[in-house]
Structure 1
Amino acid sequence: MNHKIPVTVLSGYLGAGKTTLLKYILQEEHDLKIAVIVNDMSEINIDGSLIKSSFSRTEEKLVEMQNGCICCTLREDLMLEVEKLVSRGNIDYIIIESSGISEPIPVAQTFTYVDEVLGIDLTKHCQLDTMVTVVDGNRFWDDFASGESLFDRQQGIDETDKREIVDLLIDQIEFADIILLNKADLLSTEDLDELYHMLKKLNSEAKVIPASFCKVRLNEILNTGRFDFDKASQGAGWIKELNEEHTPETEEYGISSFVYRRRRPFHPERLMEWLENWPVDIVRAKGFFWLASRHNMAGLLSQAGTSIMLQAAGEWVAALPSIEKNAVLKEEPELLEKWDKVYGDRQIELVFIGIEMNQEVIERTLDTCLLSDKEMKENWKQFNDPLPSFGV
Structure 2
Amino acid sequence: MAHRIAYGVVTGFLGAGKTTLLRNLIRSDFAAGRRIAFIVNDLADVDVDGQLLAQEVGEAGIVARLSSGCICCTIRDEFEATLRQIVEGHQPDMVVVESSGVTHPRAVLQGLHHPRLRLDSVITVIDAERFLEYMRYSAAVETQVYMADFVLLNKRELVTPEQLARVGAQVRRFNRKCAIIPTRYADAPPHVLFGAHAAHAAHDLAVRTDDHAHEHDHLRHDEIESVTLPAPERLDEDKLAEFLRSEAVRDVYRAKGFVRMAGDDGVSLFNFVPRRFGLERLPAEAAGGQRFIQFIGRNLKQHEAVLRAGLAACAA
- Number of the residue aligned with 1:39: 41
AA of the residue aligned to 1:212: R
Q: How far does the alpha carbon of each residue in 1:221-248 deviate from its partner, in whole angstroms, 9 at most, with x for none? A: 21101132436459xxxxxxxxxxxxxx
Normalised TM-score (structure 2): 0.56
AA of the residue aligned to 1:46: L
Report the alpha carbon displacement of residue 3 of structure 1 after superposing the two structures with TM. Answer: 0.8
- Number of the residue aligned with 2:102: 101
CA, structure 1 residues 93+107, in 2 after alignment: closer, same or farther (shift >3 Å)?
Answer: same
Give 1 or 2 for the bigger CA radius of gyration.
1
**Unaligned 5+ runs, structure 2:** 68-76, 207-220, 222-316
After TM superposition, list the pairs within 5 Å mapping 1:214-233 onto structure 2: 214-230=186-202, 232-233=204-205
Report the alpha carbon displacement of residue 177 of structure 1 after superposing the two structures with TM. Answer: 1.2
CA, structure 1 residues 21+231, in 2 after alignment: closer, same or farther (shift >3 Å)?
Answer: farther
Q: Distance in 2 between matches of 1:135 and 1:77?
A: 27
Partner-residue secondary structure (3-state), 1:220: helix
Q: Distance in 2 between matches of 1:87 and 1:18?
A: 26
Q: 2:150 aligns with which of 178, 184, 188?
A: 178
CA, structure 1 residues 213+44, in 2 after alignment: closer, same or farther (shift >3 Å)?
Answer: farther
Normalised TM-score (structure 1): 0.45
AA of the residue aligned to 1:100: G
Conserved 8 A contact 1:23-1:44? no
Report the alpha carbon displacement of residue 220 of structure 1 after superposing the two structures with TM. Answer: 2.2
Query: Considering only aligned residues, what root-mean-square deviation do their CA atoms show, in Å?
Result: 2.4
Q: 2:182 aligns with which of 210, 231, 249?
A: 210
Report the alpha carbon displacement of residue 28 of structure 1 after superposing the two structures with TM. Answer: 2.0
AA of the residue aligned to 2:90: G
If asked which structure has higher relative contact order (CA below 8 Å, sep 6+), I would say 2
- Number of the residue aligned with 2:63: 71
Q: Distance in 2 between matches of 1:125 and 1:38?
A: 20
CA, structure 1 residues 102+50, in 2 after alignment: closer, same or farther (shift >3 Å)?
Answer: closer
Q: Distance in 1 between matches of 2:102 and 2:91?
A: 31
AA of the residue aligned to 2:150: I
Q: How far does the alpha carbon of each residue in 1:337-381 deviate from its partner, in whole angstroms, 9 at most, with x for none? A: xxxxxxxxxxxxxxxxxxxxxxxxxxxxxxxxxxxxxxxxxxxxx
Conserved 8 A contact 1:137-1:182? yes
Q: Distance in 2 between matches of 1:229 and 1:107?
A: 15
- Number of the residue aligned with 2:90: 89
AA of the residue aligned to 1:24: N
Equivalent residue pairs, number: 192
Name whichever of 23-32 and 217-226 sits farther off: 23-32
Q: How far does the alpha carbon of each residue in 1:98-152 deviate from its partner, in whole angstroms, 9 at most, with x for none? A: 11111011110122x4xxxxxxxx1x111111111111111012223x4x4xxxx
Partner-residue secondary structure (3-state), 1:46: helix
- Report sequence identity in percent: 27
CA, structure 1 residues 208+84, in 2 after alignment: closer, same or farther (shift >3 Å)?
Answer: same
- Number of the residue aligned with 1:138: 129
Conserved 8 A contact 1:131-1:227? no
Partner-residue secondary structure (3-state), 2:196: coil
Conserved 8 A contact 1:8-1:221? no
Conserved 8 A contact 2:26-2:57? no
Match status 1:200 vs 2:172: yes
AA of the residue aligned to 1:99: S
CA, structure 1 residues 130+191, in 2 after alignment: closer, same or farther (shift >3 Å)?
Answer: same
Report the alpha carbon displacement of residue 74 of structure 1 after superposing the two structures with TM. Answer: 2.5
Report the alpha carbon displacement of residue 211 of structure 1 after superposing the two structures with TM. Answer: 0.8
Report the alpha carbon displacement of residue 82 of structure 1 after superposing the two structures with TM. Answer: 0.9
Q: Distance in 1 between matches of 2:99 and 2:55?
A: 26
AA of the residue aligned to 2:101: G
Q: Distance in 1 between matches of 2:110 and 2:57?
A: 32
Q: Distance in 2 between matches of 1:18 and 1:204?
A: 22
AA of the residue aligned to 2:134: D
Partner-residue secondary structure (3-state), 1:39: strand
Partner-residue secondary structure (3-state), 1:219: helix
Partner-residue secondary structure (3-state), 2:24: helix
- Number of the residue aligned with 1:128: 119
- Number of the residue aligned with 1:116: none
**Unaligned 5+ runs, structure 1:** 53-63, 114-121, 149-164, 235-306, 308-392
Q: How far does the alpha carbon of each residue in 1:158-217 deviate from its partner, in whole angstroms, 9 at most, with x for none? A: xxxxxxx1x221111111111111111111112112221321232011111111111111
